[in-house]
């Protein structure tokens, strides 16, 4: 009798033998009992979980001579032929190799003929997601309204690639991965059938390596049986398959805990020299870290740990905190990601092992949070205890006042200044205004640099009675100071010991207020005299700029304002300017004067209508005034 692989020998032949798919089996059995048989089924899930086997079992249940029944007999000719794969009315098609429209057209032609000897004509299409879009479209109508004797069964590992129009016409069943506990039982039964003894730890390793796929587990089991010589042990697996093993993992982690970097690197070299690949070493290290992290959190189930609890060194879980174990796990996960892009994978392993051997020097974030909290409480207690021991402030010192944030002056509550912090009355005179300005600017600069800079650049300060008048050069500076006037007034009251009113004006407005009254102290910023001297030489309209300068309003007022004040003294005329004036006078007193017939094609400027008797120059001058015209004539 030829050798038969375990995956084929142990293929389930009934719904009861389906491993880990209880929901699918129960639903199909119930539909067979009640006669609610669909015309199309879609089985999806990971590889090796029983999708094609379920389709064959369902085909046997439908075409069994005693059926349709949820329990096919397995002895009739129909069941035997389906089990052997030779049934004429059960057609299995590989979707990966029959993807064209022509293959689907062949199916459409065949469904017109009734089954030969069975109850139903069943089409099982494996890997149906490999069909082309045109093939799916050609199959739509046939799936939606097939003949009553035709049933379609589709199997796929990638359900998302199946068009929604196909899925909506099928009953869908999702298959799941098989748990490790159940997989170990299946492997133990397979070993018993072959008369092979196997350690539970070895079978658990095979189950975990299969990833929940029964077919993969049986395939790996056959490979192990071929060299095990009737006895499968964990030590044999480590030796033959190049695994690190629990013993060497325990020793390596013991060196991590002891901080033995040299010993850890030597152990790594020994493991790699024994035939373990870098990828396998990192994978085993990650698995071990995960297992001891589970043990640290009180999880001891063998199926989750991947090995018996007795195989772990519990002293490691006691010596390392959960956060340090997580740190080691993160190190080796990062090393696995870097293996493919590294110059040499060995360098990545050396670096990861060297870092892990200093794991006891790692400070977890929770410890940092606790340390910072303890330090904060200590400082708060120290500040509270030392508040009464502060020395008394000197009366002549100016206190530092914390300015409120911009826009919150109304809500801010300044701490009451001590009695010794008030500025003496002598500070009100003109000699103390610069010192007061400097102190206010320093206070405001702590919270609003722009406001402090504008206040520092102010033109002059005048203190009269309880009003401090601050003059600035530009309307923008004036608007800025008015916006934060509450902050300036509050800090001024703290400095002087009594509330003061603060007014902000432009420099020109300050000049028109007249002379100083009694009790008024003037203070001008350095260099202000030069600015005033220059401003006095400008036309009067520029000194009478309105306070609320709407865009364009100031320039319009300057142009329309007549000579309401005495004209400013003009600067001396240079030689070149005299020559230019003489040329202009000769131009207007020459032949062009009195020109009364301007032609549109010859003139540059046009005379005004109704102004023929008025002398109009050919070249239009830049808006001369009446006085200028008389002087030129």
Average pLDDT of the chain?
75
**Rg for the chain (alpha carbons), in Å?**
49
Nearest alpha-carbon partner for 473 in 404, 519, 535: 535
* 3-state per-residue secondary structure call for 203-248: HHHHHHHHCCCHHHHHHHHHHHHHHHCCEECHHHHHHHHCCCCHHH
Interval 614-633 mean pLDDT: 43
The alpha carbon of 444 is separated from its chain's Cα centroid by a whole number of angstroms, namely 38
Tens of pLDDT along 46-77? 998 999 999 999 999 999 988 788 888 888 88
Interval 228-246 mean pLDDT: 82
Contact between 616 and 596 under an 8 Å Cβ cutoff? The reply is: yes
Nearest alpha-carbon partner for 13 in 47, 53, 67, 62: 53
Contact between 529 and 459 under an 8 Å Cβ cutoff? The reply is: no
Q: Report pLDDT for 123.
A: 93
pLDDT band of 534, cuts 50, 70, 90: very low
Contact between 360 and 366 under an 8 Å Cβ cutoff? The reply is: no
Q: Report pLDDT for 266.
A: 92
Nearest alpha-carbon partner for 132 in 158, 159, 103: 103
Q: How far apart are CA 235 and CA 253, in angstroms?
A: 19
Q: Phi first, then psi: give them for residue 116, nearest 5 degrees.
A: -75, -55
Q: Which residue has the tokens 């095979």?
A: 206
- Taking 3-state DSSP, the helix, strand and coil percentages for the chain, each rounded to the nearest 5, stand at 55, 10, 40
| Angle 348-353-358 from CA coordinates, rounded to 5° | 130
pLDDT at residue 403 greater than cutoff 80:
no
Q: Report pLDDT for 551.
A: 52
Cβ-proximal residues to 180 (8 Å cutoff; 6+ apart), any chain: 204, 207, 208, 212, 303
Portions of the chain given CATH number 1.20.272.10: 246-361
Portions of the chain given CATH number 3.30.300.180: 420-543
pLDDT at residue 631 greater than cutoff 80:
no
pLDDT at residue 410 greater than cutoff 60:
no
pLDDT band of 456, cuts 50, 70, 90: confident
Interval 481-500 mean pLDDT: 81
Portions of the chain given CATH number 1.10.8.60: 180-241
Interval 571-577 mean pLDDT: 50
- Residue 540 token pair: 């009067």
Q: Name the E strands within 81-149.
A: 90-94, 121-126
Contact between 56 and 124 under an 8 Å Cβ cutoff? The reply is: yes
The top-level CATH class assigned to 420-543 is alpha beta
* CATH for the 180-241 domain, from 3.30.70.330, 2.60.120.10, 1.10.8.60, 3.40.640.10: 1.10.8.60
Interval 445-472 mean pLDDT: 81
Q: How far apart are CA 199 and CA 220, in angstroms?
A: 15
Q: How far apart are CA 60 and CA 79, in angstroms?
A: 5
The top-level CATH class assigned to 6-174 is alpha beta
Contact between 47 and 213 under an 8 Å Cβ cutoff? The reply is: yes
pLDDT band of 429, cuts 50, 70, 90: low
Share of the chain above pLDDT 70, in %: 72
SS3 state at 555: helix
According to DSSP H, which parts of 233-299 are helical?
234-241, 246-258, 261-273, 278-296
Protein fold of 246-361: Zinc Finger, Delta Prime; domain 3 (1.20.272)
pLDDT at residue 443 greater than cutoff 80:
yes
pLDDT band of 590, cuts 50, 70, 90: low
SS3 state at 43: strand
Portions of the chain given CATH number 3.40.50.300: 6-174
pTM summary value: 0.54
Q: Which residue has the higher pLDDT, 193 or 619?
A: 193
């Amino acid at each position: 009798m030829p050798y038969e692989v375990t995956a084929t020998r142990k293929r389930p032949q009934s719904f009861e033998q389906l491993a880990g798919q209880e929901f699918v089996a129960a639903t199909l059995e119930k539909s067979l009992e009640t006669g609610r048989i669909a015309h199309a089924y879609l089985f999806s899930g990971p590889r090796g979980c029983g999708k094609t086997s379920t389709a064959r079992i369902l085909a046997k249940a439908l075409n069994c001579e005693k059926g349709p029944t949820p329990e096919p007999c397995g002895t009739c000719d129909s069941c035997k032929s389906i089990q052997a794969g030779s049934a004429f009315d059960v057609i299995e098609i590989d979707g990966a190799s029959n993807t064209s429209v022509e293959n689907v057209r062949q199916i459409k032609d065949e469904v017109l003929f009734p089954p030969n000897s069975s109850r139903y004509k069943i089409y099982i299409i494996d890997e149906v997601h490999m069909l082309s879009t045109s093939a799916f479209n050609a199959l739509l109508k046939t799936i939606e309204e097939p003949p009553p004797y035709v049933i379609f069964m589709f199997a796929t590992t990638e359900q998302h690639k199946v068009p929604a129009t196909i899925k909506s016409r099928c009953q869908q069943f999702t298959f799941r991965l098989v748990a490790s506990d159940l997989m170990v039982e299946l492997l133990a039964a397979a070993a018993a059938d072959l008369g092979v003894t196997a350690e539970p730890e070895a079978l658990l390793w095979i189950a975990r390596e299969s990833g929940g796929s029964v077919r993969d587990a049986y395939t790996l089991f056959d490979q192990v049986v071929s060299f095990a010589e009737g006895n499968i042990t964990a030590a044999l697996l480590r030796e033959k398959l190049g695994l690190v093993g629990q013993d060497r993992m325990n020793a390596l982690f013991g060196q991590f805990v002891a901080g033995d970097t040299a010993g850890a690197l030597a152990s790594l070299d020994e493991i790699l020299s024994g035939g373990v690949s870098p990828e396998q070493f990192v994978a085993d290290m990650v698995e071990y870290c995960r297992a001891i992290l589970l043990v640290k959190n009180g999880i001891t189930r063998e199926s989750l740990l991947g090995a018996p609890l007795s195989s772990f060194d519990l002293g490691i879980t006691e010596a390392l905190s959960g956060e340090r174990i997580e740190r080691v796990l993160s190190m080796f996960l990062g090393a696995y990601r870097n293996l493919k892009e590294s110059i040499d994978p060995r360098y990545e392993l050396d670096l990861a092992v060297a870092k892990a051997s200093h794991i006891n020097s790692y400070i977890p974030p929770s410890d940092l949070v606790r340390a910072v909290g303890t330090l904060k409480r200590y400082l708060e207690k120290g500040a509270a205890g030392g508040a009464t021991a502060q020395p008394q402030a000197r009366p002549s010192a100016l206190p530092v006042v914390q300015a409120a944030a911009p826009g919150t002056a109304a809500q801010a509550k300044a701490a009451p200044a001590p009695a010794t912090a008030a500025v003496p009355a002598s500070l009100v005179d003109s000699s103390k205004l610069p010192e007061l300005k400097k102190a206010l600017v320093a206070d405001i600069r702590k919270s609003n640099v722009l406001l402090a800079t504008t206040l520092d650049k102010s033109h002059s300060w005048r203190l009269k009675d309880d009003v401090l008048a601050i003059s600035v050069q530009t309307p923008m500076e004036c608007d800025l100071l008015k916006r934060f006037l509450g902050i300036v007034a509050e800090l001024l009251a703290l400095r002087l010991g009594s509330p003061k009113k603060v007014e902000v004006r432009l420099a020109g407005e300050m000049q028109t207020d007249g002379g100083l009254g009694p009790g008024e102290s003037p203070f001008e910023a350095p260099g202000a005299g030069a600015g005033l001297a220059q401003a006095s030489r400008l036309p009067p309209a520029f000194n009478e700029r309105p306070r609320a300068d709407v865009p364009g309003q100031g320039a319009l007022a300057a142009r329309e304002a007549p000579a309401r004040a005495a004209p400013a003294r003009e600067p001396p005329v240079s030689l070149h300017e005299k020559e230019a004036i003489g040329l202009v006078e000769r131009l207007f007193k020459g032949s062009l004067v009195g020109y009364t017939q301007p032609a549109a094609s010859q003139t540059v400027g046009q005379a005004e209508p109704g102004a023929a008797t008025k002398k109009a120059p050919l070249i239009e001058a830049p808006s001369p005034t009446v006085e200028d015209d008389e002087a030129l004539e």
